[in-house]
Structure 1
Amino acid sequence: MKTVGELVERIQSLHRRTEETPLFNPVFQLSLDLSRLLESGDLTLDDCDRLIAELECDALKSRAERLHRLIAPSSPEANADELATALSAGDFTTFRDRWERPQLHAVFTAHPTFLLSPAQSAAVAEAASIDEPVDSAVCAVPAARPPITLAYEHEQAMRAIAHAQDARDRIVAQLLTHARQHWPDEWTAFAPLPFRFASWVGYDMDGRTDIGWAQSIGFRLAEKAERLARYVVSLDAIDPAHALLRELRPAADYAADRARDFSADLSDPAALSVAANRLTANDPRKLLTLARYIEALESEARSAQDERAVGLKTLAAAMRADGLGMGWIHFRVNAKQLHNAIRRRLDPDGALDLSSKSAVVHLRRVISEAKPLRSNFAALAIESSTAIRQFLAMAQILQHVDADAPIRMLIAECEEPATLLAGLYFARLFGIADKVDLSPLFETETALEHGGRFLDSLLAEEEYRTYARERGRVSIQTGFSDAGRFVGQIPASLAIERLQGRLAQAMETNGLGDVAALVFNTHGESMGRGAHPDSFADRLDWPLSPWARRRFVRAGIRLEPEVSFQGGDGYLLFATPELALATLTRIAELRPAETDADAAPDPFYRRIDISLDFYRAIRDHQHSHLESRTYSRAVTAFGLGLLNPTGSRVSRRQSDLSADREMSLRQIRAIPHNAILQQLGYPVNVIAGVGSAADGNYEEIAALLSSSERGMQLIRLVRAANALASVKTVAAFGELFNSAYWASRPYRGTESHLSEPCQALAEYLIKDDRAGVFRRLASRLRVDALKLHRLLAMMPEGEGRSQNESVRRAIGVCQALRLALFQHMFIRAVSVPAFSRANDVSRDDVLEMVFTLRIDEALAQLRRAFPTSFPKIGDFELAEPTDYPEGADEGYEGLRRAFIDPIDRAYALSLRITTAIANHFGAHG
């Protein structure tokens, strides 16, 4: 078995044996077949490398095909035709109202989802950018991955935004041309703004301490320089001799110089003083607003020839949308950081309970009495509070970089109105409340459960209402990462939907119907950072459903939907000009800012006697997994060793690295947690509980879901996850730790050469709990899956069943080959000779490191114990002769070749399989 085709054929034949023996595990049996070949020498690691290369190729094709299916058609000409069809003539007023406000705010974030190498990402994007079948060209790329630093993430974000800007320019030009053709006497009054772009890369401080304030300022200045340079290119294409170029070119150069100043080491007060004084000094090249340029372009367009006028107005539209940056920016802090800051400022003795009514009363008073304080870069440099530092940084950006573009302040884990009022106090204190949108994040189970009451209380505060009217919007953020992990994807979506409805109700009740509602959804997990893999319509409707949108429309509230495109996964949708245009065209066709207020009610929301119980049952089932020691132990059985590093933010929260056996799920961040579920073979947080929730009422629930668009959307997500899921794979991981398996493997002399290592593994693993943990989890998942299959059998059949089976078999082969590599690592690790304990690390500690896939640490200890580089006699020039040692000492080079190097290489190969499996799922996380 040295080809993928042979492995697929073998696993298919093994699956047929489950009809005779239901407990038979085809995935683990194939891994044993491969392990026997590997340990006998009939299969080498070089052979495994070739097999993995073929599996990688198939997975990259799968990812490219999925991406193309999501955005098709991809050619610019086809998308121009598609948009033209979607533009009805109508009347000019209706047309302006639709396209002079954003249909979507797109935020380019940098969650750790940079799974593919740059070459792989480029190949996938190129393959998806043409309306042709994906071929093997997508595979002919090296897989080397650069270190994923914050600078790398920022560079990738800016590249994606640049493509998005160009695509938006094409759409804006088409909108202007359409207006010119249909309303020739009025069209110059049209100011299109179909999309806004933003980013928090370099500004997000939630969960990290590695971003200095100077980096944030430097990033913002670099973005300003890049955007001004792009404005120059656009205007130069219209008229190389245009008068405004004499101002814009020096302004771009000046911003680039200031960006270089702030990219230097500014830890020395003298160096900071030089950089700050250069930035804050008056200079004719220093632009803080584009208002005069926008007006000049619009004024010229009113008397220009048609094509030139379209070009000028397109550039003005870009300036209006982006300001002096590549887009708007989002700072983000955690509620605890804000609590620490407000206590230090107003409650140094810690006597104030921020969850109390007295805290709100106190904050009302200090907000109303706050007098703006001046600040400078020295104040920013010496500030120790993370939250206050962010407000000071925003003040400097608004004062010295871009005075027009507002800044979002996202507050994670915001569960008390006092938290947001504390943010409002600091915004008033530093004189930036008129330009900062404070946005609470609802993501935890507590926040979602009590979010309605939070909104009712917050919007009832007069100081907040005054602030919201000043800003012209109420901003909130809803996130699926932690919600999807701790509540489950489907319950999270339904809870977030209800919260959004409560926002519409609270705004209407508190007289805020005259301001906009900006609802930022950071999308989902497990089936990809797009939340829903089925279509672009589902991708947009999943986090902000038509039901929720209708609540705002019926209340007369203007809705500003905002979604994130996260890391290497989300950036693929903007990785080429063609993909960016196709993506924005699909959004423009779907118009997520609008909905039909008179649409017929969805039965899912009318039959709450059924749907609410269904939601609660799934939520309770998911919660039981979260509280289960079995589930927690299984998910953390390998630590984070199943995953490639995919971002600059650490994937694991601060903890004792030696405590893997007792690792809590809360120590792992949401994205790697859900990525581990993919790698274990079963997206528990998507599938689990749906079948059990229908138990005893299958017919009625199936009928309700089948008659409901929202219900069928839920089922499409479940089907997509279930098509790739395998309970047998979950069980197979447990067999790695089954002492009886290792004791029986060389039984009857079939592998007598492995008797000693197998016996050692059998003895060592007698005390290990993981075999039983995976067995119990698989049993629970199987019972729930049986109920799910019964429910799905009563509903309309999903599409692509034969294709799903092909992908499922490919994933099964990937899993079996990886399990064989793990067995190879285990056998080699237990075969390493004993060595003396050093640095409190014993041989058993090293074995445990290997079993939890902390391979780098294990290999470092083994290389310390068995060195191959050391002083030799010939290195010394001594007059006195010696007869000792008698021969050349090669040290432990043979031992390394036999044991240490194979572990190293096998693990590297296993991580390539991780990437292949993630590509079949369509994302990392």
Structure 2
Amino acid sequence: MNPKIAELHDRLRELHSRTRETPLFNPVFQLGLEFSRKLETGEIDLAEINSLVSALECEGLQARAQKLDRLLAPMAPDANLKVFEEQPEDFASFAARWNNPLLHVVFTAHPTFLLTPAQAGAVAKAATEGEVDGDTACVAPHERTMITLDSEHDAAMSAMSRAQGARDRIVRTLFEQARGKWPSEWKSFAPTPVRLATWVGYDMDGRTDIGWNTSIRYRLQEKAERLASYAAMLAQDAPEIAGRLSAAAEHTGEMAAMFAKDLSDPALLSHTANSLTADNPAKIVSLAPVISELEAMADDADEDTATTLLTAAAAMRADGLGMGLIHFRVNSSQLQNAIRRRVDPESKLDLSSQAALNTIRTALEDVTPLNANFAALAIEGSTAIRQFLAMQQILKHIDADAPIRMLIAECEQPQTVLAALYFAKLFGIEDKVDVSPLFETEAALEHGGRFLDALLAEDEYRTYARKRGRVCIQTGFSDAGRFVGQIPASLAIERLQGRLADAMKANGLSGKDGADVAALIFNTHGESMGRGAHPASMKDRLEWPLSPWARRRFVRAGIRLEPEVSFQGGDGYLWFGTPELALATLSRIAENPPTDADPDAPTDQFYRRTDLSLDFYRAIRRVQNMHLVSATYSRAITAFGLGLLNDTGSRRSRRQSDLASDRKMSLRQIRAIPHNAILQQLGYPVNIIAGFGTAAENNIEEIAELLSTSERGKQLLRLVRAADALASIKTVAAYGELFNSAYWASRPYRGTEKHLTDPCLILADYLTKDDRVGTFRRLASRLRVDAMHLHKLMDAIPGATDEWGPATTDREHKRRSIGVLQALRLALLQHMFLKAVQVPVFSRSNDISREDVLEMVFTLRIDDALSQMRRAFPTSFPSIDDFEIAEDSQYPDGSDSGYHAIRRDFIDPIENAYALVLRIGTAIANEFGAHG
């Protein structure tokens, strides 16, 4: 450890010991004050703080690499391929195990691109090479570049490419095992151990910046890239097919380039569309003939050649003409607006009513399919209809074989799913589109069981499900974890999944009814504990969103499971950051297959003792809801706006608002991921921990017994313990003290900082009416009471504190490092506040006053504040030498040097300090293991 950091750890430990003498003493704030005093006297400067931040950044990056190593080891390819060498006794069982995917892996792009590409690469390299404690992961911070949809798509494709390579190695290993044991049967083997998919560029929920031609362009780019990789796989053993695939890749690349142009000109659009739809010898729309050719060639080839050919065929069968399958996503309101145009143009129906259901049902029965073209797509104004038109064009002209998912966000009524089916039938693509409602809102989780009962009772839906061979749902953990709490959300999702099994069984869609209909459950958690990623082990990570209890419900009903999970953004792509990491990730999945469950396993006590577990669940949820509706919680979470966070994605984290609304920002204005990220930055993962202790308050002994004897209960404990190991209520309280008028008035009181008297008094006067200090104190008090109940519960559970991964010494080191980071940031924020109030008074401009600029600084809208300050104090002026005027001038006489001193002494330090604040935010998120 860096010697200076070690000293700070020791100092923080010493300060913590003083809380025994004075319970209200805040060691984090005290350390921040010590930094602040040194900074304001010049004993240290921002360059020295930069050095400390760099050392702690290195620790954070090492922590990310250590987490990957802990969850994925071993990394050696040979060791991981051995996972796939165990075989059942007969070929039929072997084929049945691998012909259907163990998991669908979806590469999504929510705003979690926390690390720069160089940092992500260094972390992946360190984990791959086993150098997690050295300097391999430590990359000096570079200037953050703007994250665009294109950069997100490029990153997703790179991760998918590595996943494809890992899967190819697995498939080849499986073929080699099969040919050695079943020489007469192995060539009929068609393994698909993992499917890959993405929604990057196809997810329209919450954004308006993705045009239809963007999605078409991406699909063509993906097709061109995949055709080229197929050709490379076959270049040696099937050169003629490889040549055709290469020509198709080149042709597709040309089409992608055409769709990258501005197609607002009808003539250009017409030319582009006609070029894509025209017959061309190089055009391939289906891989079915190619797969048949490869299989026929394999019949007559030697074993090694046949293995290569069949491995390529397996990849084609899994991915189609793209890097993987694609997921479009729209919001339910977009679909409702679209269906109203078709069935209720006069807006007389309540779309949630039985009358609307009857109307949509009749329309669905009577719909006549319509063909459409790119012109129809270009002029369509409805987002939802535009997505179905885009899907029709993709299926006609890009990939006729690969199914497409249609995800519906905030879907709370069966009518919305039937509306999606209506449009799928209207455009003749219902046999290739899987409609999937998302259950994530509080209402959707509460009423989801009844929703599924009603939906699966619809004749048209059951006919559709049998045709597609699956019933698809999506369960979300981000918004659910924000509005319900992560533990109640996970338990509610678990019950909903069980209700799906019951509904399928009740409506004749189970294997025991002779129906070959799978249950495809897409769990869209992320990498953070706050978004449903269990940090303790790979087993916990895979069981948390789809528990053994829920799996058994499907197994017992004879329903095949198709589990699906998302790997979100930069955080998620790290799992596939190198070929070795990708293989290790898929190997750990194969060791803990989410499709498996023992139907004869004894019932976990957590589900048997529902008199306890349901009350426990409801009590946690009540506490979480209390925070959600509390003005105190909302004000604390939004006190700094989103200013503690880096931009981590191309989708906006919040809606635009003015200064007045900033002061009363609602939690619903902030998306789930930044909400969770703010909790990390303030030091306490409320949406994980809160309520767990209070829920057991009146029944500690029985709850402790239940949690300690139940596998599901132990899993809950491991999650809470992992979050609590990083949590600090003192840190939450410390941020409130920044707005304490008495603190600022008292700071120079003893004469120790006379040079700060004036700015401190200005801050003290300005903050006399500010509510944030009281807000943070109230929140910290509530959290402390709840935490005391949690500690009492933990004390009643033998070994509860040892229920998850890293050793106690590692946890304490991590806590101290986070504490030092928080103290440094508190000092930097004080530095920014002091500098801001020392900027000379300037006149109001564009309705922005000096007080508005100060409030921008306090809510960390620093870019806006700096812009206003620079407007008020410019340093660049037109020069008189720029003009060729005949008449002489003695003015300017050189006595006015402009505002360079104000820039140097006040404005630039604020900018430099804020850059360090954001870097500290990245380091803290790395210690938590993910952003948000």
TM-score w.r.t. structure 2 length?
0.98
1:132 deviates by 4.8
Cα deviation for residue 303 of structure 1 reads: 2.4
Output the CA distance in 2 between the equivalents of 1:294 and 1:530: 39
Counterparts of 1:403 and 1:417, CA distance in 2: 28
Q: What displacement does 1:88 show?
A: 3.0
Q: State the alpha-carbon separation in 2 of the partners of residues 176 and 809 from structure 1.
A: 51
2:559 counterpart residue number: 557
Over residues 664-698 of structure 1, what are the superposed CA-to-partner deviations in whole Å (9 max), with x where a residue is unaligned?
00000000000000000000000000000010211
Amino acid at match of 1:388: I
Structure 2 CA distance, aligned partners of 1:587 and 1:137?
27
Q: What aligned pairs does 1:100-249 form with structure 2 within 5 A after superposition?
A: 100-236=99-235, 238-239=236-237, 242-249=239-246
Query: Is the 1:528–1:922 contact (alpha carbons within 8 Å) kept by the matching residues of 2?
Result: no
Deviation at 1:248, TM superposition (A): 1.1
Cα distance in 2 for residues equivalent to 1:884 and 1:464: 83
Contact 2:486 2:530 in 1 (8 A): no
Residue 406 (structure 1) aligned to one of 403, 406, 425: 403
Shift of residue 801 of structure 1?
A: 1.4
Alignment-derived partner of residue 597 in structure 2: 595
Greater displacement, 876-885 / 364-373: 876-885
Match of 1:326 in 2: 323
List aligned pairs for 1:521-670, cutoff 5 A: 521-524=523-526, 526-527=528-529, 531-656=533-658, 658-670=660-672
Deviation at 1:133, TM superposition (A): 4.6
1:887 is displaced (CA, Å) by 2.1
Of the three residues 855, 861, 867, the one matched with 2:862 is: 855
Count of matched residue pairs = 921
TM-score by length of 1: 0.98
SS of the residue corresponding to residue 564 of structure 2 reads: strand
Distance 2:37 2:252 in 1: 63
Look up the match of 2:414.
417
Q: Quote the residue 1:349 is aligned against.
A: 346
Distance 1:608 1:656, change over 3 A: same
**2:441 equivalent in structure 1:** 444
Q: Is the 8 A contact 1:73 1:582 kept in 2?
A: yes
Is 1:881–2:878 an aligned residue pair? no
1:90 Cα deviation (Å)? Answer: 2.0
Equivalent in 827, 836, 840 of residue 829 of structure 1: 836
Counterparts of 2:659 and 2:111, CA distance in 1: 20
CA 1:103–1:657: 2 relative to 1, 3 Å: farther
Aligned CA distance change for structure 1 residues 417 and 647 (closer, same or farther; 3 Å): same
Report if aligned partners of 2:486, 2:531 keep a CA contact under 8 Å in 1.
no
CA contact (8 A) 1:619 1:689 kept: yes
Quote how far apart the aligned CAs of 1:588 are. 1.1
The 8 Å contact of residues 491 and 615 in structure 1, kept in 2 or not, is answered as yes
Instruction: Indicate whether 1:311 and 2:308 are aligned.
Output: yes
Deviation at 1:473, TM superposition (A): 0.5
| Corresponding position of 1:922 | 929
Q: Are the counterparts in 2 of residues 530 and 565 from structure 1 also a CA contact under 8 Å?
A: no
2:19 maps to: 18
Aligned twin of 1:79: 80
Aligned counterpart, 1:903 = 910
* 1:396-446 Cα distance to aligned partner (Å, 9 max, x none): 000000000010000000001001111111111111111100000000000
8 A contact 1:343–1:350 mirrored in 2: yes
Aligned residue type for 2:36 = S
Q: Secondary structure of the equivalent of 1:399? A: helix
Q: Secondary structure at the match of 2:281?
A: coil
> Which of the numbers 678, 683, 694 marks the counterpart of 1:676?
678
Distance apart, 1:888 and its partner CA: 4.4
Return 797-806 or 310-319, whichever deviates more. Answer: 797-806
Q: CA deviation at 1:525?
A: 7.0
- CA-CA distance at 1:80 after TM superposition: 1.8
Unpaired stretches in structure 2, ≥5 consecutive residues: none
Cα distance in 1 between the residues matched to 2:139 and 2:682: 28
Q: Distance in 1 between matches of 2:431 and 2:193?
A: 24
Equivalent position of 1:716 in the other structure: 718
Take 1:896 and 1:83, find their aligned partners in 2: how far apart are those partners? 63
Contact persistence 1:83–1:589 (CA under 8 A): no
User: Deviations 1:134-187 (Å, cap 9, x if unpaired)?
Assistant: 311211444332210000000000000000000000001111111111111211
Asked if the contact 1:528–1:921 (Cα under 8 Å) also holds between the matched residues in 2, the reply is no
The answer to whether the Cα contact below 8 Å between 1:480 and 1:525 also exists between their aligned partners in 2 is: no
Aligned to 1:479: 476
* SS state at 1:108 partner: strand
Aligned match of 1:504: 501
Q: Deviations over 1:720-764 (max 9, x none)?
A: 100000000000000000000000000110000000000000000
Conserved 8 A contact 1:734-1:772 = yes
Inter-partner Cα distance in structure 1 for 2:526 and 2:393:
34
Conservation of the 8 A alpha-carbon contact between 2:532 and 2:544? no
Match of 2:924, as an amino acid? I
Cα displacement (A) at 1:300: 1.6
- Is there any run of 5+ residues in structure 1 with no aligned partner, and where? none
Matched-pair contact (CA < 8 Å) for 1:448–1:496 = yes
8 Å CA contact 2:166–2:579 kept in 1: the answer is yes
SS class of match (2:562): strand
- SS of 2:136's partner is helix
Output the amino acid matched with 2:185. Answer: E
Match of 1:846 among 833, 842, 853: 853
Q: 1:251 aligns with which of 229, 236, 248?
A: 248
- 2-side partners of 1:658 and 1:497: how far apart? 41
Measure, in 1, the Cα distance between the counterparts of 2:598 and 2:509: 22
User: Quick one: which of 816, 833, 856 aligns to 1:809?
Assistant: 816
Aligned residue type for 2:63 = S
Q: Which AA in structure 1 matches 2:690?
A: A
2:522 alignment partner, one of 520, 523, 534: 520
Q: What secondary structure sits across from 2:750 in the alignment?
A: helix
Q: Deviations over 1:834-888 (max 9, x none)?
A: 0011100000000000000000000000000001011233222222122233324
What corresponds to 1:31 in structure 2? 32
Match of 1:90 in 2: 89
Counterpart of 2:333 in structure 1 is 336
Q: CA deviation at 1:99?
A: 0.4
- Alignment CA distance shift 1:524-1:726 (3 Å): same
The C-alpha deviation readout for 1:313-336, integer Å capped at 9, x for no partner, is: 111100000000000000000000
Question: Are 1:489 and 2:486 an aligned pair?
Answer: yes
Find the partner of 1:688 among 687, 690, 693: 690
The alpha carbon displacement at 1:287 in A equals 0.6
Q: What does residue 49 of structure 1 align with?
A: 50
Matches within 5 A, 1:263-302: 263-302=260-299
Aligned to 1:773: 775
Asked whether the equivalents of residues 529 and 570 of structure 1 are also in contact (C-alpha less than 8 Å), the reply is no
Shift of 1:526: 4.8
The answer on whether the counterparts of 2:679 and 2:686 sit within 8 Å (CA) in structure 1 is: yes
Structure 1 runs of 4+ with >6 Å offset: none
Aligned equivalents of 1:211, 1:458: Cα separation in 2:
31
Deviations 1:636-675 (A, max 9, x none): 0000000000000000035445411110000000000000
Give the Cα–Cα distance (whole angstroms) in 2 for the partners of residues 394 and 755 of structure 1: 66
Residue type matched to 1:45 in 2? L
CA contact (8 A) 1:521 1:564 kept: yes
**Alpha-carbon offset, residue 299 of structure 1:** 1.6
Q: Is the 8 A contact 2:148 2:650 kept in 1?
A: yes
- Identical-residue share of aligned pairs (%): 68
Q: Distance in 2 between matches of 1:746 and 1:538?
A: 52
